Amino acid sequence: MEKKEFQAESKRLLDLMINSIYTNQEIFLREIISNASDAIDKLAYVSLTDQNVGMDRSDFAITLKADEKYGILTISDNGIGMTKQEMEENLGTIAKSGSLAFKKELDSDADIDIIGQFGVGFYSAFMVADAVSVVSRKYGTQEAWIWQSSGADGYTIAPCEKETPGTDIVLKLKADTEDETYSKYLKAYELRALVKKYSDYIRYPIKMDVEHQKPVDVPEGEEPQEQKFETVLETETFNSMIPLWQRNKKDITEEEYHNFYKDKFFDFEDPRAVIHFGVEGNVTYKALLFIPGRTPYNYYTKEYRKGLQLYSSGVLIMENCEDLLPEHFRFVKGIVDSQDLSLNISREMLQHDRQLKVIAANLEKKIKAELVKLLTGDREKYDAFFDSFGRQLKYGVVQNYGMHKELLQELLMFWSEKENKAVTLAEYVDAMPEEQKYIYYASGESRTRLSQLPQCETVREKGYDILFFTDDVDEFVVQTLMQFKEKEFRNIAMEDLGLQSEEEKKLAEETEKASKDILGFVKEALDGKVSEVRLSSSLRSHPVCLVPDAGMSFEMEKYMKRMDPEFKYASGHILELNADHAVFAALKGAIDSDREKAARYAKLLYAQAMLIAELPLEDPTEYTDLVCSLMQ
């Protein structure tokens, strides 16, 4: 029999398959089953117009058969089959377009990944088999052919017998080695698992005769003895065939969606929201997305991997396609199925990038729209969602130099002092009295502490709401946004509240001038601890507060310090005194009568300001000594 050479490029691919150390070699089954399914598609199509096919849709099937004795796995289909010439053309060469792209990739380190992600079709059989036979009979012809190869040295084609049209792929599996077992591909449970994993939604049944142990019935009249079992063969269908996402939305119950989600994504809680849609056009695809009901335990760690499952016409081609999801929506789970994405590496390499981008951009829009829908239509649900993933949205605003802030800002929520619940920025701004100029916020560790901030009183007195920031990222969000609906943000603990009238300002300046000596005295007494001492415009019942003199708030500095112990506090401190407070008068009195006592007052006031700002006292003992000395 004449032995024929593979084309040069096929040979390279084959070499790679044969010597593959690729851990994901199990995808060979997916590749062969997909080919079988395509072949059945073709015959099913012919049968629409050709009565002679004599087959119903229900007659089509893919059959697996394992011969453990000889180590042979056979995958059969009753599809269109191949003529001798087709065998030669299809199995001896790689599609021209793909070979080029593949060759390029081969020269890089990426080759192994490509196998897993996009498949390499029929040749992947050589990852697990050292001899492959293809027995095929084309529909409408009488003769059958057998194609045989044991690898790179070539293949033979010879006539053979086959009763019905279709194709058998016969794999003589490699012998098990220390590192690899191939015999597992003969076990029904392994094959079943692989079909479930990769080919569950193939539209034709994937069947196998599986051995089961059945209890033997005791013949009538005999005494029941020890239960006996016999081995029986039962035909099992491994795949469930119809993907949920291909079904009509209105025929699917919420429970079906929820069960699917829990099953597929290993969650025990129902999803918070389901997004199911199809797109037809330049890129046609179906998407079924879920917003989980809770934060995965590893969500904010490196372990968590974002991504969607990517299918091509019901066949899984990628478990975790990261490119489909933007970072800020990385909590979304789900699948995308597009017939435009080919299993085949060839077309894949050329096109997948552009198409995936189109899909990803669309998904982002849909997810945003769904969140807006929740926010406006089901606030309770949105609140719960925000509890789980709100922090992610905030990170999303900050990341990439605020590139996504327009998209995300309306989804954010912060705690409102007035409403005593989380509100959106739009809600805050809409509720602002007409004359209110700024969006006020305070940031710190807990809401209770924040509500006790001395500066709150002034804002509150005006009837203005204050947003309480308790997430580390909150202040960064505000710095990125800068403003919302043309309203700027003001940190009540560090910035001018902008509440004074011209007259009040003038008056304050005068008081400041008149108090120059007192302020100078305090500054000197504090001996370099503060960069400035001045009168405050934002204090009411409290005597002092501390304000950073650089752009960074104390909260931000604390955060930086937590992230990086080497971080040096950059801000100096400005001590602000309340000139209307009785303590201020006492201080003034002391300066006139007992300067040593007045110096102690100054130190005390500074310590109090530090405490209120939740900053560590340099010398707590000195502070308590001071208090004691005053009490005695």
User: Which of these segments, 32-40, 396-404, 497-505, 604-612, binds ligand ADP (CB under 6 A)?
Assistant: 32-40
**Which one of residues 14, 29, 33, 82 is an interface residue with ligand ADP (CB under 6 A)?**
82
Residue with structure tokens 């990852």? 127
* CA gap 471, 319 in Å, rounded: 33
* CA gap 9, 94 in Å, rounded: 7
- Counting contacts by CB under 6 A, is residue 313 touching ligand ADP? no
- Counting contacts by CB under 6 A, is residue 121 touching ligand ADP? yes
- Counting contacts by CB under 6 A, is residue 165 touching ligand ADP? no
Counting Cα atoms < 13 Å in the Cβ hemisphere of 577 gives: 30
Closer to ligand ADP by Cβ: residue 10 or 538: 10
- Counting contacts by CB under 6 A, is residue 283 touching ligand ADP? no
Closer to ligand ADP by Cβ: residue 99 or 571: 99
Residue 622 in tokens: 């000195």
- Counting contacts by CB under 6 A, is residue 287 touching ligand ADP? no
Residue 69 in tokens: 């004795």
Helical H segments across 431-473, by residue range: 447-451, 456-461
Closer to ligand ADP by Cβ: residue 26 or 557: 26
- Counting contacts by CB under 6 A, is residue 613 touching ligand ADP? no
Residue 278 in tokens: 């199809």
Collapsed DSSP state (helix, strand, coil) of residue 185: helix
Residue with structure tokens 């405490």? 611
**391, burial (CB in 10 Å: exposed 0-12, middle 13-18, buried 19+):** middle
- Counting contacts by CB under 6 A, is residue 36 touching ligand ADP? yes
- Counting contacts by CB under 6 A, is residue 147 touching ligand ADP? no
C-alpha distances out from residue 400 to 326, 366, 397, 480, 534, Å: 12, 21, 8, 10, 39
Closer to ligand ADP by Cβ: residue 121 or 314: 121
- Counting contacts by CB under 6 A, is residue 122 touching ligand ADP? yes
Q: How far is the CB of 116 from ligand ADP (least distance, A)?
A: 15
- Return phi, psi of residue 242, to 5°: -100, 115
Using alpha carbons only, give the angle 32, 36, 39 rounded to the nearest 5 degrees: 140
- Counting contacts by CB under 6 A, is residue 201 touching ligand ADP? no
Q: How far is the CB of 77 from ligand ADP (least distance, A)?
A: 5
Residues 345, 114: contact at Cβ < 8 Å?
yes
- Counting contacts by CB under 6 A, is residue 90 touching ligand ADP? yes
Residues 79, 117: contact at Cβ < 8 Å?
no
- Return phi, psi of residue 622, to 5°: -60, -40
* CA gap 393, 408 in Å, rounded: 7
Q: How far is the CB of 237 from ligand ADP (least distance, A)?
A: 19
- Counting contacts by CB under 6 A, is residue 167 touching ligand ADP? yes
- Counting contacts by CB under 6 A, is residue 438 touching ligand ADP? no
Closer to ligand ADP by Cβ: residue 79 or 402: 79
Q: How far is the CB of 234 from ligand ADP (least distance, A)?
A: 25
Collapsed DSSP state (helix, strand, coil) of residue 178: coil
Residue with structure tokens 């989600």? 261
Closer to ligand ADP by Cβ: residue 124 or 571: 124
- Counting contacts by CB under 6 A, is residue 132 touching ligand ADP? no
Closer to ligand ADP by Cβ: residue 118 or 489: 118
- Counting contacts by CB under 6 A, is residue 344 touching ligand ADP? yes
* CA gap 122, 75 in Å, rounded: 12
Residues 52-81 that bind ligand ADP (CB under 6 A): 77, 79-81
Q: How far is the CB of 118 from ligand ADP (least distance, A)?
A: 10
Closer to ligand ADP by Cβ: residue 99 or 416: 99
Q: Which residues bind ligand ADP (CB under 6 A)?
A: 31, 35-36, 39, 77, 79-82, 90-91, 121-122, 167, 343-344
